[in-house]
C-alpha cells in the first residue's frame, strides 16, 4: 500500500492508562455511498474518550482509534451525497458510541452527521462543540422541554457539557442554577448562570427547590437527591445511561420524570447550534489545545477533572 493512502491516527492496541496511546499509520478511509471524507482540522476530547481508552466503555474491540468530535474540510464525497462538496468546512459528531475514530487526520462518515461549520469561529472552537452541544440540546430541549422562565439545575456546570448546557438553557430564557467549585463561580456567572453553588461546601439539595429540570452529569446519590429539587411534573435527565432502577421508582413516587440518555448525531440540531454560535449566544471555552502527537498528555490533563471547558486535538502539520 502506498503512503498516499495512509494517515496518522491516535491508536491503542490494548486498554489502559494514557500510556497505551500511540501515533500510528493506518489506511486512510474512502467515503462509501452517502458518506463524506473529512480532512480533520480539530477534534474535541470528552470524558468518554478516557473512559473508553481504559476499557470501561461500550467498545470492546481493538485496535482502537478514539474520538467523536470533528471539525474539518470535506476532501471527497461518496456516491449520492448532494449536501456537501469538496472544500466545504463542516463540523459534526460521529455516531455515538460505535462510530468513533475522529482522532486521526481523516475520517469518513455519513453526511447526515455533519453540518456547515459556524462561520464566526475557527476549527478549534467548532471541533470542541458537537458532542457537548448535541448532548445539552437533546437533554434540555428535546427531553426536558425547557421553556422561557423555567428554572434549571445543572450539575458540574463548568465542565464540557455543563458550560454549554448553561448557555443553552439561557438561550431558552431559563433561570439557571449551576454547581461547581468556588473558583469557577465567576466563570459561570460570565456565561449567564443566575445562581452558583459550591458543591464542596453547600448541599444543593438544601438550597434548591421547585426547579423544572435537572441536568445530571454525575449519577448515583447526586441523581437521587436531585429528584427532590424538582417541582411536580419536573424532569431530571441523566447522562449516566445505566444505573439503579431506584431512580425511576423514586421519580414516579415523587410525581416527576427521570430519563437516562445517550447523545445522538443530528444535522438539524447542529444547524441550530451553529446559529446560536453565529448569533453570539453559544461558545465553547477551550481549556487547552494539543497537537495530535500529544494526545496522551491531553488525556492525562482531562483525567484530572480540573479543566474548565473543553480540550481539543489539532492537526500538527
**Which residues 6+ apart lie within 8 Å of 237 measured at CB?**
139, 140, 143, 144, 213, 214, 215, 216, 259, 260, 261
CB atoms within 10 A of CB 263: 25
Q: What is the pLDDT of residue 314?
A: 98
123-173 pLDDT per residue, tens: 999 999 999 999 999 999 999 999 999 999 999 999 999 999 999 999 999
Q: 90 preceded by cis ω (within 30°)? A: no
Residue 300 domain-assigned (yes or no): yes
Cβ atoms within 10 A of the Cβ of 24, count? 16
Under DSSP, is residue 88 helix (H, G, I), strand (E, B) or coil?
A: coil
255 and 171 fall within a common domain? yes
Quick one: 121 and 19 in the same domain?
yes
In sequence order, the 6+-apart residues with CB closer than 8 A to the CB of 66 are 10, 12, 49, 52, 53, 100, 101, 102, 103
Domain count, the chain: 2
Range of the domain at 42: 3-129+284-314
* High-pLDDT (> 90) share of the chain, %: 95
What residues contact residue 206 under an 8 Å CB cut-off, 6+ apart?
Answer: none
Rounded to an integer, the average pLDDT of 49-74 is 96
CA distance 208 to 189: 17
- For residues 155 and 108, membership in a common domain is answered with no
Q: What predicted TM-score, i.e. pTM, was given to this entire model?
A: 0.96
pLDDT tens digit string along 1-48?
A: 344 689 999 999 999 999 999 999 999 999 999 999 999 999 999 999
Tell me the C-alpha distance between 131 and 99, whole Å.
13
| 95 and 168 part of one domain | no
- The Cα 230–Cα 78 span in angstroms is 48
182 and 299, same domain (yes or no): no
275, part of any domain:
no
Contact 92, 130 (CB under 8 A): yes
Whether 141 and 255 map to the same domain: the answer is yes
Amino acid at each position: 500500500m502506498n503512503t498516499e493512502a495512509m494517515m496518522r491516527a491516535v491508536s491503542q492496541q490494548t486498554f489502559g492508562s494514557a500510556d497505551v496511546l500511540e501515533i500510528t499509520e493506518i489506511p486512510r478511509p474512502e467515503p462509501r455511498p452517502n458518506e463524506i471524507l473529512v480532512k480533520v482540522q480539530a477534534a474535541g476530547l470528552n470524558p468518554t474518550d478516557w473512559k473508553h481508552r481504559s476499557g470501561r466503555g461500550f467498545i470492546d474491540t481493538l485496535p482502537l482509534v478514539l474520538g467523536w468530535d470533528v471539525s474539518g474540510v470535506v476532501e471527497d464525497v461518496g456516491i449520492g451525497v448532494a449536501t456537501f462538496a469538496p472544500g466545504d468546512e463542516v463540523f459534526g459528531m460521529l455516531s455515538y458510541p460505535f462510530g468513533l475514530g475522529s482522532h486521526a487526520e481523516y475520517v469518513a462518515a455519513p453526511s447526515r452527521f455533519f453540518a456547515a461549520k459556524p462561520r464566526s469561529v475557527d476549527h478549534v472552537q467548532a471541533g470542541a462543540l458537537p458532542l457537548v452541544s448535541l448532548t445539552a440540546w437533546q437533554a434540555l430541549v428535546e427531553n426536558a422541554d425547557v421553556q422561557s422562565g423555567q428554572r434549571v439545575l445543572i450539575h458540574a456546570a463548568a465542565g464540557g457539557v455543563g458550560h454549554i448546557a448553561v448557555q443553552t438553557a439561557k438561550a431558552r430564557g431559563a433561570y439557571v442554577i449551576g454547581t461547581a467549585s468556588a473558583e469557577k463561580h465567576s466563570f459561570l456567572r460570565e456565561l449567564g448562570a443566575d445562581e452558583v453553588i459550591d458543591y464542596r461546601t453547600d448541599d444543593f439539595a438544601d438550597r434548591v427547590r421547585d426547579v423544572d429540570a435537572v441536568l445530571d452529569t454525575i449519577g448515583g446519590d447526586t441523581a437521587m437527591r436531585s429528584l427532590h429539587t424538582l417541582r411536580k411534573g419536573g424532569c431530571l435527565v441523566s447522562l449516566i445511561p445505566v444505573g439503579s432502577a431506584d431512580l425511576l421508582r423514586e421519580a414516579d413516587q415523587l410525581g416527576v420524570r427521570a430519563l437516562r440518555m445517550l447523545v445522538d448525531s443530528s444535522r438539524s440540531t447542529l444547524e441550530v447550534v451553529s446559529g446560536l454560535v453565529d448569533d453570539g449566544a453559544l461558545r465553547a471555552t477551550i481549556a487547552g489545545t494539543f497537537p495530535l502527537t500529544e494526545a496522551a498528555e491531553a488525556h492525562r490533563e482531562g483525567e484530572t477533572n480540573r479543566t474548565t471547558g473543553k480540550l481539543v486535538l489539532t492537526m500538527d502539520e
